[in-house]
């Protein structure tokens, strides 16, 4: 493999791994704090046990997320020294602020995990809330940096050099707010549904019990509200893309030709050489309506750029379809759950509902990974959109593949161990049998 | 004061705190290897409960140094990334293995043998990581690595595998073990365990004096720039003198079993050694070519970063004070959450039985 492909593969692998831990780090502390808050209000021991269990999960995932985040910060220099040399000053601000958010998260997580008997009740609950807030802030700052790569602002370009840099303006680039909202909601959706799914599965296995039922109530509420809000956020992001990154929009929709009143394509497979997206279900004027909220608006197609500057249209389009498809299914599921909960509580008695919940629960993470592929692959061949190509940013150091294989091996072992560990902690404990209703 | 110098002082402060806090966590991991005798398991327990609530927070100091470097001195950051890739990879592997094996050991629920194995991974990676981190300090100080982003470095053509960087690596490991043993003597719950850590503190302290002497001598042959700085910079001279005094005081307190004083003195000693190095290295970030001045981002960017650090510090330092107060002031009663978990299970299942 050449350096560019190796570096991109390694960065992609690390991020695909890290994004799972980061998402859990954003949402699990919120659930754990809600559980503790409910316990303090109701004195129901199921909530306390839940808070402690989720805290344990947070502890494992946060530690692994912390080290994989460190790997990423080093990889910026190891793999993309030219990008950092030029852009470091412009995008350093969100990373620096993220450092402080991370500090706060680590400090209060320490107090939360090991301070049950050492700090007053209010401080303990507040620590959980601070972990949840600072975890979300970390995601906000890191996504700010990514947004800048999509819509770079806050500087002037003079003979290939960045001058007149304004770090705060760069941090709040046009993509910043829509992308951050989308990312944070995605984290709540993914971890909310995944957690609800795990407890749904446990509920099926060990029969009705209060512990799993309150767990599902909290996790599904957070995941459901987030996924419903996600459709609004996605619409805002698509409109931003339509004006700021029209080529990304064109490739994720498989729009090869600039068109007035463009249709929305559902599914289908783009054929870049024939400049056609085949087999798609086309909704007339759909894309124009979505992108500009006007049926007769003109949507720019990939034909505006030479083919050598296109992203991998097929991959971007498919990833986008997966993301939207998963999001749609989860939204539908959230609405059905809300209706069921309103009609007949508790949800735990509906076996079919629980089975469906288990079935849809991984879709949040699938959508998260797919959506991240859309934004990263859709930006190619640029690392900084229309400013610097990814191929110009990569390191020229030899033997990058040594780094690749070493870190890939380590992540492989880490991933397996974490899954095994979590399954032991959430599922395998023999004491859990006592929860079953005889 | 110029923004570039101010920001480098902030980075130095973060580096000092990383050495005193994160360094001691690595040192404690190294001491985990040396646990022996009838109190072996109890020694391990003291180490684990000392690290557990704080190690992630302590690790963030390193991340702060890294992000401030790539934001404030991007050219220096990319030069280090481009010239020392193999070394950075080794550090990364060490960091990943140390952190994950520590939680895997703590939360392990399978057979005892595998848990022992994770413990081994934890202590070995805790020992190697500070060694490699020290080598980085040595490699950016000795001035033999040609610095340019565009020149082709190689993973195998290792610029850092030389006597001077290796001796700095050794010195770092010794100092961190010494710090850890001194801190643990304060935190150990009884006299016997205190004596175990006291002995380790005296031994590692003695070895680090030898390693420091060796490093100083080797600098004369291999790193003339840093040697000259150590001998001529007034900041370095003052810091070195202070370090010698602190070391003397720390050893005396350890011998007299006055552990709280020893902890303060040992921390001062290590902090002054780091500051002395920084004084000698000034104004270089990566010898021979990269200085604070020629790699700095524009001044307005640096001022914004300083502003961010100031605002962040307002949140950070009170929180950090709270953390250390909660966990390091009172002597350990063990972590409450684990022991309670069992009771809670019983409570919940009891409640379930009543309900049905």
Find the closest chain B residue to A395 by CA distance. B82
Mean pLDDT, range B102-125, rounded to an integer:
82
Give the list of residues 6+ apart from residue A1 with CB closer than 8 angstroms, or none. Answer: A9, A401, A404
Residues of A in contact with B155 (CB under 8 A): 397-399, 402-403
Q: What 8-state DSSP symbol labels residue B47?
A: H
pLDDT at B348: 42
Distance, in angstroms, between B232 CA and closest chain A CA? 32
Band of residue B353 on the pLDDT scale cut at 50, 70, 90? very low
Measured between beta carbons, the chain A residues lying within 8 angstroms of B356 are: 437-438
Residues of chain B with Cβ-Cβ distance to A91 below 8 Å are 71
Q: Does an H or E element contain B313, and which?
A: helix B299-328
Mean pLDDT of A4-28: 88
B67, A96: Cβ pair inside 8 Å? yes
Assigned token pair, B301: 């960017």
User: Is A109–B99 a contact, with Cβ atoms under 8 angstroms apart?
Assistant: no
Could you report the per-residue pLDDT of A211-258, keeping only the tens digit for each?
A: 888 889 899 999 999 999 998 898 888 888 888 888 888 888 888 888
B304 chain-A contacts, CB cut-off 8 A:
93, 167-168
- Mean of the pLDDT values across residues B196-223? 91
What whole-number distance in Å separates Cα of residue A398 and Cα of residue A138? 33
The residue of chain B with its CA nearest to that of A71 is B92
Q: Where are the beta strands (DSSP E) in chain B?
A: 284-286, 290-291
Supply the range of the domain harboring residue A55.
3-435
Tell me whether residue B331 is in a domain: no
Asked if pLDDT for residue B176 goes beyond 50, the answer is yes
Name which of B301, B318, B328 to mutate to probe chain A: the one with the most chain A Cβ atoms within 10 A of its Cβ: B301
Contact (CB, 8 A) for B313 and B90: no
Does B342 fall in a domain? no
Mean predicted confidence (pLDDT) in B74-95: 86
Å between A49 CA and nearest CA of chain B: 6
For residue B303, give the chain A residue with the closest CA: A167
Please give the tally of structural domains in chain A: 1
- Judged by CB atoms closer than 8 Å, whether chains meet at B316 and A104 is answered as yes
pLDDT at A332: 93
Rounded Cα distance, A35 and A95, in Å: 31
Number of domains observed in the structure of chain B:
1
- C-beta separation of B242 from B272 below 8 A: yes
- Residue of chain A nearest B347, judged by CA positions: A45
What is the torsion angle, in degrees rounded to the nearest 10, for the CA atoms of residue B198, residue B204, residue B207 and residue B212?
Answer: -120
Q: How confident is the model at residue A125 (pLDDT cuts 50, 70, 90)?
A: very high
Which residues in chain B have their CB less than 8 angstroms from residue A165's CB?
297-298, 300-301
Q: What is the DSSP string of A329-379?
A: HHHHHHHHHHHHHHHSS-GGG-HHHHHHHHHHTTHHHHHHHHHHHHHHHHH
Question: Could you give the CA distance from residue A67 to residue A106 in angstroms, rounded to a whole number?
Answer: 12
**Distance of residue A84 Cα from the nearest chain B Cα, in angstroms:** 6
- Pick among A63, A91, A392 to test the B interface (most B CBs inside 10 A): A63
Over residues B216-239, the mean pLDDT reads 86
Closest in A52, A67, A434 to B349, CB measured: A434
Kindly report the nearest CA distance between residue A290 and chain B, in angstroms. 38
What does the pLDDT read at residue B130? Answer: 93
CA distance B66 to B56: 16
Residue B71 Cα, gap to closest chain A Cα (Å): 4
Taking CA–CA distances from A400, the nearest residue in chain B reads B155
Tally of residues, chain A: 438
Question: Which of B146-155, B185-194, B272-281 has the lowest average pLDDT?
Answer: B146-155
Mutation pick from B49, B84, B96 vs chain A, by most beta carbons of A within 10 Å, is B96
d(CA B185, CA B203): 14
Of B82, B85, B335, the CB nearest to A114: B335
ipTM for the predicted complex comes to 0.83
The pLDDT mean for chain B works out to 83
pLDDT grade, residue B159 (50/70/90)?
low
Q: Do A86 and B74 touch (CB under 8 A)?
A: yes
CA distance A57 to chain B (A): 10
Task: Answer yes or no: is pLDDT of B128 > 90.
Answer: yes
**Euclidean distance between the first and the last CA atom of chain A, given in angstroms as a whole number:** 59
A36-40, A125-129, A185-189, A278-282: the lowest-pLDDT one = A278-282
Of A84, A111, A397, the CB nearest to B154: A397
* pLDDT at residue B339 greater than cutoff 70: no
Provide the domain limits for residue B211: 3-324
Cβ separation of B67 and A99 shorter than 8 Å? yes
Which chain B residue's Cα is nearest to A433?
B349
Nearest residue on chain A to B72, judged by CA atoms? A89
Q: Which residues contact A115 (CB under 8 A, 6 or more apart)?
A: A123, A124, A127, B53, B326, B327, B336
Q: How confident is residue A1, by pLDDT bands cut at 50, 70 and 90?
A: low
SS3 call for B234 = helix
Confidence of residue A427 (pLDDT cuts 50, 70, 90): low
**Residue A244 CB partners (closer than 8 Å, separation 6+):** A150, A151, A174, A175
In a domain, B335, yes or no: no
Q: Residue B329: which of A119, A103, A102, A109 has the closest Cα? A: A119
Judge whether residue A323 has pLDDT over 80: yes
Contact A77 B88 (CB under 8 A): yes
> Collapsing DSSP states into helix, strand and coil, what is residue A152?
coil
Most confident of A71-75, A300-304, B197-201: B197-201
| A407 contacts on B by Cβ (under 8 Å) | 89, 92-93
Min Cα distance A412 → chain B (Å) is 12
Instruction: Report yes or no on B212 lying in a domain.
Output: yes
Q: Are B179 and B267 in contact (CB under 8 A)?
A: yes
Most confident of A53-67, A286-300, B301-315: B301-315
Q: Taking CA atoms, what residue in A is nearest to B354? A: A437
Q: Which residue has the higher pLDDT, A88 or A187?
A: A187
Instruction: Give A256 to chain B, closest Cα distance, Å.
Output: 38
């Amino acid at each position: 493999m050449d350096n560019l492909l190796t570096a991109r593969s390694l960065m992609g692998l690390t991020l695909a791994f890290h994004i799972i831990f980061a998402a859990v780090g954003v949402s699990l502390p919120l659930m754990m704090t809600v559980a503790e808050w409910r316990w303090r209000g109701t004195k129901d021991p199921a909530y306390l046990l839940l808070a402690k269990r989720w805290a344990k999960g947070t502890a494992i995932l946060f530690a692994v997320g912390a080290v994989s985040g460190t790997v990423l910060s080093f990889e910026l220099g190891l793999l993309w020294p030219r990008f950092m040399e030029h852009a470091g000053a412009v995008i350093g601000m969100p990373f620096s602020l993220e450092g402080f958010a991370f500090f706060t998260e680590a400090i209060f997580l320490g107090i939360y995990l090991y301070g049950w008997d050492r700090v007053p009740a209010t401080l303990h609950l507040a620590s959980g809330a601070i972990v949840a807030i600072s975890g979300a802030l970390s995601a906000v700052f890191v996504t700010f940096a990514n947004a800048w790569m999509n819509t770079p602002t806050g500087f002037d370009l003079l003979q290939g050099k960045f001058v007149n840099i304004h770090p705060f303006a760069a941090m709040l680039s046009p993509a910043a707010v829509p992308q951050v909202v989308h990312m944070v909601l995605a984290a709540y959706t993914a971890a909310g549904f995944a957690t609800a799914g795990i407890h749904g599965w446990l509920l099926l296995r060990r029969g009705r019990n209060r512990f799993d039922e309150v767990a599902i109530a909290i996790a599904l509420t957070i995941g459901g509200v987030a996924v419903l809000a996600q459709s609004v956020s996605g619409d805002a992001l698509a409109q931003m893309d339509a004006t700021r990154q029209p080529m990304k929009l064109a490739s994720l929709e498989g729009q090869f030709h600039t068109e007035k009143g463009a249709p929305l394509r559902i599914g289908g497979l783009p054929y870049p050489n024939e400049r056609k997206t085949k087999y798609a279900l086309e909704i007339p004027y759909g894309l124009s309506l979505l992108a500009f909220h006007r049926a007769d608006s003109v949507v720019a197609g990939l034909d505006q750029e030479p083919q050598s500057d296109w992203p991998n249209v097929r991959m971007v389009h498919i990833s986008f379809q997966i993301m939207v498809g998963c999001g749609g299914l989860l939204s539908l599921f959230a609405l059905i759950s809300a209706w069921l909960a309103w009609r007949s509580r508790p949800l735990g008695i509906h076996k079919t509902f629980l089975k469906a919940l288990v079935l849809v629960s991984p879709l949040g993470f699938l959508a998260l990974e797919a959506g991240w592929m859309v934004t990263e692959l859709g930006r190619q061949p640029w690392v900084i959109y229309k400013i610097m190509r990814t191929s110009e940013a990569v390191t020229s150091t030899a033997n990058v593949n040594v780094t690749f294989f070493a870190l890939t091996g380590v992540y492989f072992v880490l991933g397996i161990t974490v899954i095994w560990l979590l399954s032991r902690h959430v599922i395998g404990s023999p004491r859990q049998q006592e929860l079953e209703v005889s | 004061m110029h923004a570039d110098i101010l920001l480098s002082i902030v980075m130095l402060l973060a580096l000092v705190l990383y050495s005193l806090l994160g360094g001691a966590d690595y040192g404690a991991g190294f001491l985990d290897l040396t646990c022996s005798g009838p109190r072996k398991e109890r020694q391990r327990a003291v180490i684990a409960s000392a690290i557990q609530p704080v190690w992630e927070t302590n690790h963030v100091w390193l991340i702060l140094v890294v992000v401030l470097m790539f934001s404030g001195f991007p050219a220096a950051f990319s030069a280090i990334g481009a010239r020392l890739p193999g070394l950075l990879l080794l550090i990364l592997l060490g960091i990943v293995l140390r952190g994950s094996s520590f939680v895997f050991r703590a939360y392990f629920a399978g057979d005892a043998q595998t848990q022992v194995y994770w413990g081994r991974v934890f202590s070995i990676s805790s020992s190697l990581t500070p060694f490699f981190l020290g080598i980085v300090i040595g490699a950016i100080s000795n001035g033999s690595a040609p610095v340019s982003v565009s020149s082709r470095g190689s993973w195998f053509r290792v610029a850092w595998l030389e006597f001077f960087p290796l001796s700095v690596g050794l010195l770092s490991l010794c100092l961190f073990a010494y710090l850890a043993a001194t801190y643990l003597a304060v935190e150990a719950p009884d006299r016997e365990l205190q004596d175990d850590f006291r002995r380790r503190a005296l031994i590692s302290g003695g070895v680090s004096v030898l390693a420091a002497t060796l490093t100083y001598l080797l600098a004369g042959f291999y790193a003339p720039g840093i040697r000259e700085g150590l001998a001529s910079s007034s900041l370095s001279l003052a810091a070195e003198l202070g370090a010698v005094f602190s070391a003397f005081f720390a050893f005396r307190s350890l011998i007299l079993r006055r552990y709280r004083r020893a902890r303060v003195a040992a921390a001062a000693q290590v902090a002054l050694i780091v500051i002395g190095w920084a004084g000698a290295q000034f104004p270089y970030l990566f010898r021979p070519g990269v200085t604070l001045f020629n790699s700095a981002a524009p001044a307005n960017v640096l001022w914004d970063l300083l502003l961010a650090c100031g605002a962040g510090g307002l949140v950070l330092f009170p929180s950090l004070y709270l953390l250390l107060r909660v966990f390091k002031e009172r002597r350990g009663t063990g972590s409450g959450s684990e022991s309670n978990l069992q009771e809670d299970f019983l409570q919940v299942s009891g409640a379930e039985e009543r309900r049905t």
